Structure formats: C-alpha cells, structure tokens
Amino acid sequence: MREVKCQWCGSKGVKKEMLCEAKPTGKYNKNGTEKYIRKYFHDKCYVQYEKDKAFKEKEANEFDELYLYLKDLHRLEGLSKRMIERLQDLRNGTVKYQSQKVKRYKKGVPFRDILDTYKYSEQQLHKARDYKQFESPWHEFAYFLSIIVSNINEVKERNRRLAQQDSIRTSVIKKQIQLQDEIDLEVKRNKNKKDELDISSLL
C-alpha cells in the first residue's frame, strides 16, 4: 500500500487512510488539467494543523492592526525591522538572560493587548512627544514602547475588572428577567384561575 508523509507530524501513513488537502497551483498539465499541491495528514494531525492555521491567521490580523496603528502614531511610512523585532519580542515573551536573548514563542503579551495599551496611553504619549525631542523615529518608538510596557498590567487589570463588571451586570439582568418571567407566569396563572371561576359562576 502506498504511504505518504503527514505534513504535521512528519511520520508516514497509508495514503488511503489520510486526509488530503489539495490546492490548485494555477499551472496546468499537458493534457489541460490543473496541477494541484496535495498535502496529507493523519486525521488527528489535521485537527491540530487547522487549529494552528487559525491561530496564525488571528495573530497575523492582530499584528496588521497594530502595525497600521503604529504607522499612524509615529507618522511613518512603515516600521523598521528593528521596531518589528521589538514588538515580536514583547509578543513572544522573549527575555534577556546574561545579555543573551532567550527565545520563546507567543508566550508574552497578545498583540491585541499591546494595541489596547497604546490606545489607553495615547494622551500620555502625545504629551511625551510635546516635551521631548527625539533624535530619530527609533528613539521615539523605543520611548513610547517603554511607556506601553509599564502600562500593560494596568490595562490588563482594567480589562479584567470591566469584564467582571460586565458579567455581574449580565447575571443581574438575567436574574431580573427570570424574576419578571416568574411574576408574569404567576399573574397568568391567577388570571386563568379567575377565568375558570368566572366561567363556573356563570354556569
């Protein structure tokens, strides 16, 4: 039986039993049929692969949003490699240990939280720009980012509190609705009883 390699775990499996993801290449065979790239996966591995793909897409979208925001904030055509690296380090949770970078993967602050913190700190950043002269875009970027890093926990805590208040509010409203429903039901029941009585009194 023909075996193919799983694109996720790298080990081989029987071709017939594996999932196949086929993508058209836009190129054509001599006989006119379109060429496909085929990737094979174990069933279980495919689930992992899909999850990973969705995660990466979400990450890319959140990064794009942050990138556009920062381009505007710093009035730049684009961010430099060095700036992007700093953002990636913050996202990944890269730490310096004895002047060596210890790399991790997506263990730091989510891009969404970084963006939230920038927005939350806007006034503070604009003020900093008013009273400080920055030598270069990089200096401004690095200075702003240090403000962001020191504000991140505050923003996280604030978001946590807001979410908590929200869930309390929701549960209070739910309870009120439930109570109202019970009252309505009771009223209806009494009314029905009365109706029954009314009818019986006529009879």
Residues of this chain that interact with Zn ion (CB under 5 A) are 6, 8-9, 42, 45
Give whichever of 45 and 79 is closer to Zn ion, judged by the CB atom: 45
Nearest CA-CA partner of 140 in 79, 199, 81, 192: 79
Closest contact distance (angstroms) between CB of 8 and Zn ion is 5
**Shortest CB 39 distance to Zn ion, Å:** 11
* Shorter beta-carbon distance to Zn ion: residue 12 or 112: 12
Nearer to Zn ion, 9 or 149 (CB): 9
The least CB distance from residue 6 to Zn ion, in Å, is 3
3-class DSSP assignment, residue 168: helix
Residue 114: how many other CB atoms lie within 10 Å: 24
145 token code pair: 């980012």
The least CB distance from residue 42 to Zn ion, in Å, is 4
Distances (CA, A) of 123 to 71, 114, 156: 17, 16, 18
Which pair of tokens denotes residue 30? Answer: 């001599």
Nearer to Zn ion, 45 or 83 (CB): 45
